[in-house]
Structure 1
């Protein structure tokens, strides 16, 4: 299991590297000023982090009340993911549209591209992170025969 310090390193590296790629890349892709995409990137990452905490606490409390357990089946995990993303989209789309002075449809398309980037980036980042910073095995060493 990863230590608290390792989790902090993971979170900071994840966000710093994502923003280093996202800000200039999205400025080119969406033909927007780098400064504006920097604001969108930092603001979106902050909102997503806060929403992640609030949503997961609320979801677990609801599960305890409704099911008596926080154990998640595959169907509950899928529902959890869709509800999380729907809430994030509902918060970010109007803010992106307002800040950039674009329509809601354009903001939705932009958000879909951002979510796609983060899905691919998160997968690749975690593969690389696990190779660069492997978790020490907690299993007892094998006894020689």
Structure 2
């Protein structure tokens, strides 16, 4: 299991790197001013950071309870990334629709694009993070 400071480092570094990549990319791709997209991305990142912490904590507890180990196999990594993005997409769709005051189809395409980007990014980032900062083995909780 990871310590609270490690989880915070993981969540914050994930969001900062993601912001630096996605803000200019999506401002260009969806033809919105960088400032408008930047505010939206920061709002989304703030929600995602909190959700990242809570989701990863719950996921690790589930792994520890079910398997006695928090290390992730490839299928578990894929499930982890997909579940995280689906739940985050559900949480952020209303915020995106309100902020951009755009057609629902536009927001869905944008959200799916964000989800697709972050799905791949979450997989790569988490794998890299686990490689650089391996989780510590702990004894199984009764």
By the TM > 0.5 criterion, same fold?
Answer: yes
Q: Aligned-pair RMSD on alpha carbons?
A: 3.6
Partner of 1:85: 86
Unaligned runs of 5+ in 1: 58-69, 72-76, 140-145
Preserved CA contact (<8 Å) 1:23 1:37: yes
Q: Which runs of 4+ in 1 moved over 6 A?
A: none
Preserved CA contact (<8 Å) 2:23 2:37: yes
Partner of 2:128: 128
Q: Distance in 2 between the 1:48 and 1:8 partners?
A: 12
Partner of 1:21: 21
If you compute each CA radius of gyration, which structure gives the higher value, 1 or 2? 1
TM-score by length of 2: 0.65
Partner of 1:10: 10
Preserved CA contact (<8 Å) 2:89 2:115: no
Q: Count how many residue pairs are aligned between Structure 1 and Structure 2.
A: 120
Q: Distance in 2 between the 1:136 and 1:94 partners?
A: 38
Q: Distance in 1 between the 2:121 and 2:38 partners?
A: 17
**Residues 94 and 7 (structure 1), Cα distance of their counterparts in 2 relative to 1, 3 Å cut:** closer
Partner of 1:104: 104
Q: Distance in 1 between the 2:48 and 2:135 partners?
A: 26
Cα offset, 1:4, TM superposition: 2.1
Greater relative CO (CA pairs within 8 A, separation 6+): 2
Cα offset, 1:19, TM superposition: 0.9
1:40 and 2:22 aligned = no
Preserved CA contact (<8 Å) 2:96 2:107: yes
Partner of 1:63: none
Q: Distance in 2 between the 1:127 and 1:47 partners?
A: 22
